[in-house]
Chain A
Amino acid sequence: MRRVPAWLQELAGPVVLVALLAVASDLGVSSADEVKFQNALVFVAIVAALYVFVGNSGVISFGQVSFVALGAFASGVMTIPQDSKQGVLTTLFPLLRDHTISNFWSLVLAAGLGAVYAFLVGIPLMRLSGIAAGIATLAVLGITYNILTYWNSIGPGGGQTLSLIPTTTDYWTPAAGAIAVICVAFAYQRSRFGRQLRAAREDPAAARAAGIDIHRQRLLAFTISGALSGFAGGLYVHLYGSISTGDVYLDLTFVTLAMLVVGGISSLFGAVVGAIAISLFRILLSNSEQGIHIFGWGIHAPGGTNLIGIAIVMLVILLLRPSGITGGREFTVANDLPRRLRRPTRTEPLG
Chain B
Amino acid sequence: MVTFLIDENTGTSQLAILDASDIAKGPIARAALPHKISSGVHSTWVEHDQLRADLAFKRGELDRVVA
Bound pair: A and B? Answer: no
- Which residues from chain A sit less than 8 Å from chain B, CB to CB? none
- Which residues from chain B sit less than 8 Å from chain A, CB to CB? none
